[in-house]
Amino acid sequence: MPRFLRCLLVGLAVLLATTGTAQAARTGLACVGAMLGEYLLPGVGYALLGEYDKAVIFGGLRWAALSKYASFARSPNYLKDPKDIYKTEQITVDGKERQKMDIYLSRETFYGKAYASMYGNLTFATIYDLYDGCGSKSETYKLMAAPFRIDHFWAEPTFWAPVVYAGVVPLGSDNVTYHVDTNLSRQAMINLSFVQYQLVGIGEEMLFRGVIQRSLYNGFSGFLSKKAARWTSLVTASAIFGAAHSGQGFSANSGVAFGAGMYLGWVYNPEVGQFDLIEPIAIHAWWDTILVNRRLRESQFVARKSGETARNPLAARTYPLFGFTYRF
């Protein structure tokens, strides 16, 4: 199952399980119907609510991303199965066990998966926007710009520590090889990845922290102390975040994602009754963007032969993979 769809299903399942009844009572069935309508058909829910600016902006962007994804996914060169894309293997180098990774990407695969990710994270943003009710809110627009609102977190060590770390941690990128089509350039991948991973930080934080963690906190507060509810919601939301990051590739480490979720959840809810989504969005967006940019710039690139995949490699390279290589 594609990562963006897995995240959608996990997030929606928890949302419906924890807040469905209360949300209906607070906002009315019409609002809940508009929320579901917007999820299923971009722009329609907002139009029904009379929020035509969001119908055009959010609905239009989701339709554009979905259309681009569909155009690439229909190609016979599109690789659906992650097992066709990622190949990892344990090898011995100088008496030590190492892991090598080869990544096989057709042009259609790279662009298709990038636009699928954008669609998923724009959907997360609409879920967050409609979560609190149907009244028009400008806050969501401000949160979409959170990675660039440096005035909000310029003096916060909680922001700078992980971001600086992402810029200096050894990645061993020269031990990873991208096998790509000749019409897919490194620079094109870097350019589109910037937009993609900024949206990953925005969308995932809106869903996992802004909706799931907060709704869990509200639910647990009904029968636990505020302090216990804070920690229970933080751990539970982080566990869901970790589960959503299982699979294959650099993001396939649930333990690392759980730890990241704990940190981001703590920044989001540092004290009882305090919630601030701007800084965790900025941390997540820049962490992903910096690591992916470094990975693409530092890794080896070779031409992918027609039909070459991780399952059926026509050529093989051996590189040990070491260091902290996971993104989330």
3-class DSSP string for 210-275: HHHHHHHHHHHCCCCCHHHHHHHHHHHHHHHHHHHCCCCCCCCCHHHHHHHHHHHHHHHCCCCCCC
Quote the crossing angle between the two packed helices 107-131 and 29-40, to the nearest 10°: 170
Contacts of 36 (CB under 8 A, 6+ apart): 45
Which H or E element spans position 103? strand 96-105
Rounded to an integer, the average pLDDT of 283-308 is 95
Quote the crossing angle between the two packed helices 107-131 and 186-205, to the nearest 10°: 20
Calculated CA dihedral for residues 271, 273, 277, 283, nearest 10 degrees: 10
Burial bucket for residue 179 (CB in 10 Å: 0-12, 13-18, 19+)? buried
Smallest CA-to-CA distance from 327 within 298, 280, 293, 291 is with 291
**What is the average pLDDT score of the chain?**
85
Percent of the chain past pLDDT 70, that is, above it, reads 83
> What pLDDT is recorded for position 174?
79
d(CA 159, CA 162): 6
Q: Of the ranges 12-16, 80-84, 143-147, which one carries the lowest mean pLDDT score?
A: 12-16
Whether the pLDDT of residue 123 is over 70: the answer is yes
CB 176 within 8 A of CB 103: yes
Whether the pLDDT of residue 139 is over 90: the answer is no
Q: Look at the block and give the residue holding tokens 């906002």.
A: 27
Rounded to an integer, the average pLDDT of 139-147 is 94
Whether the pLDDT of residue 173 is over 70: the answer is yes
Rounded to an integer, the average pLDDT of 19-44 is 67
Burial bucket for residue 168 (CB in 10 Å: 0-12, 13-18, 19+)? exposed
Query: What are 89-118's pLDDT values in tens digits?
Result: 877 767 777 778 999 999 999 999 999 999
Model's pTM, two decimal places? 0.85
Query: What are 225-257's pLDDT values in tens digits?
Result: 999 999 999 999 999 999 888 765 666 578 889
Whether the pLDDT of residue 223 is over 50: the answer is yes
Percent of the chain past pLDDT 90, that is, above it, reads 64
> What pLDDT is recorded for position 48?
85
